[in-house]
Amino acid sequence: MAYQKPKGTADILPGAVEKWQFIESVARETFKRYEFHEVRTPIFEHYDVISRSVGDTTDIVSKEMYDFYDKGDRHITLRPEGTAPVVRTFVENKLFGPEFQKPFKTYYMGPMFRYERPQAGRLRQFHQLGVEVFGSENPATDVETMLMALDFYKQLGIKHLNLVINSLGSKEDRETYRQALVDYLTPFKENLSADSQKRLVENPLRVLDSKDPKDKEIVVNAPSILDYLSEESSAFFKQVTTMLDALNVEYTIDHRMVRGLDYYNHTIFEIMSEAPGFEGAITTICAGGRYDGLVEELGGPATPGFGFALGVERTLITLDAEGIEIPCETEVDAYVVGLGEATNIETLKLVQSIRDAGFVAERDFLNRKAKGQFKTANKLNAKVVLTLGETELAEGKIQMKHMASGKQVEVNLADVHENFKKQYDLVVKSVEG
């Protein structure tokens, strides 16, 4: 019986994993320039941490959680997102304390789990790069963090992006707006999808986020939340757009955009790929916003927050759509060809000496003939090949061949062990100058 991976998951194999490593390293370099530091939280989390943050009536909590009771009868879930766990750790470790930099800027990367219907760019185990900023009410934080997301994509060479922003205002603004929205939607109730009929009662703003085509038609003429913002909230949003303008950042305002998590207020944003070759229906690659009440909700002192998460899988789709190639060639410096069983131990010693000298070395393990071993060396792009036969072994010598030029020299085995770099430089320099 041969198994296949669980539905909605992927194995990431050599040849593809280099792209992941590249994306991760670009993220680390980018976030570092903005003074963000990494945190790593557990892959599983208390169910309550997620349900209280993300919201009980959201799709994530009501339908998509991988939750279970452990052997100690604790209600546990695989984490569906990163913000709630990071807020939990922020409160638990008192990262709001005076010894920590304010605002506290942090990032995470890793797998998230949601029981969704898998399709292109939608998996059950997927990977996010996310960032959070705690302790700044300054709209410059909103803008800086959005700029950092755009910067990350720019570093990857991604060009066709649309930054979409909106404001959800304060909790009070949303109450007023909620009523206006219910008043608007109620006459259409029968025409809404079953899910949205439920949302209309439990969490009407969620109807705006529906992916159902009929729902989408109905919400086209829904009242705009931006008309229901208090003066303060409007002024805050105005500052955000003024700063974006001042930095010459292009953006679109979409007053119908809400987010799939309940903890947001004021600024929210999404980044969409507009690459002509983008595959599939989903084009949102990054999403986030402000969440000023969340730290308090999870038992910490009132602390404003702002963050985003972006999908690694969707970043890969975007790279493909933009035709960006990530270099992932393997380069072997030295391949050691050993001929005859008597050379087995010395060959082992040789590759170890070469590796000790800081070079990438490989050898044959399958007793292949010289021709086969040279073929492998070529496939691996080996710069030099060292050939050791039984005669050479007896004489303490080895042939070293520079593959590009075909130039071959004989060197002492002892010299290779003692200072491989010197021998390597000699043969490489003699032909490459």
Q: Point out the annotated binding site for L-histidine.
A: 81-83, 114, 128, 132, 259, 263-264
Closest approach, Cβ 413 to ligand ATP, in A, equals 53
Judged by beta carbon distances under 5 to 8 A according to partner kind, the member of ligand ATP, Mg ion, none in contact with residue 151 is none
Closest CA to 267 of 391, 100, 143: 143
Query: Distance from CA of residue 180 to its chain's centroid?
Result: 38
Residue from 52, 88, 105, 114 touching ligand ATP (CB under 6 A): that is 114
**Residue nearest ligand ATP, CB atom distance:** 311
Q: Which is nearer to ligand ATP, 63 or 75 (CB)?
A: 63
- Told to check if 126 binds ligand ATP by CB under 6 A, we report yes
What 8-state DSSP symbol labels residue 280?
Answer: S
Closest CA to 271 of 395, 147, 94: 147
What 8-state DSSP symbol labels residue 380?
Answer: T
Strands (DSSP E) along 236-302, which ranges?
252-253, 265-273, 284-290
The span from the CA of 389 to the CA of 276, in Å, is 56
Q: Which is nearer to Mg ion, 124 or 383 (CB)?
A: 124
Residue from 309, 385, 388, 411 touching ligand ATP (CB under 6 A): that is 309
* Count of helix runs (H) and strand runs (E) in the chain: 16, 16
Closest CA to 174 of 105, 264, 87: 264
Closest approach, Cβ 301 to Mg ion, in A, equals 30
Please check whether residue 258 is in contact with residue 240, taking contact to mean a CB–CB distance below 8 angstroms. Answer: no
Please check whether residue 157 is in contact with residue 324, taking contact to mean a CB–CB distance below 8 angstroms. Answer: yes
- Told to check if 206 binds ligand ATP by CB under 6 A, we report no
- The annotated binding site is made up of 81-83, 114, 128, 132, 259, 263-264
Site string for ligand ATP, 63-102 (x = CB under 6 A): ------------------x---------------------
- Told to check if 51 binds ligand ATP by CB under 6 A, we report no
Find all residues with CB under 8 Å of 194, minimum gap 6, and list them: none
Cα 63–82–233 angle (5° rounding)?
90
The span from the CA of 404 to the CA of 158, in Å, is 35
- Told to check if 284 binds ligand ATP by CB under 6 A, we report yes
Cα 181–186–189 angle (5° rounding)?
125
Dihedral of CA 211/213/218/221: which sign? Answer: positive
- Told to check if 18 binds ligand ATP by CB under 6 A, we report no
Residue from 164, 180, 282, 360 touching ligand ATP (CB under 6 A): that is 282
Respond yes or no on whether the N-terminal peptide bond of residue 80 is cis (omega within 30° of 0): no
Q: Which is nearer to ligand ATP, 121 or 389 (CB)?
A: 121
Instruction: Find the part of the chain contacting ligand ATP (CB under 6 A) among 70-78, 116-124, 217-225, 245-253.
Output: 116-124
Residue from 272, 285, 337, 385 touching ligand ATP (CB under 6 A): that is 285
Q: Which is nearer to ligand ATP, 36 or 374 (CB)?
A: 36
Residue from 103, 305, 311, 338 touching ligand ATP (CB under 6 A): that is 311
Q: Which is nearer to Mg ion, 8 or 260 (CB)?
A: 260
User: Using CB under 6 A as the criterion, which residues of the chain lie in contact with ligand ATP when the complex forms?
Assistant: 81, 114, 116, 121-123, 126, 128, 260, 282, 284-287, 309-311, 313-314
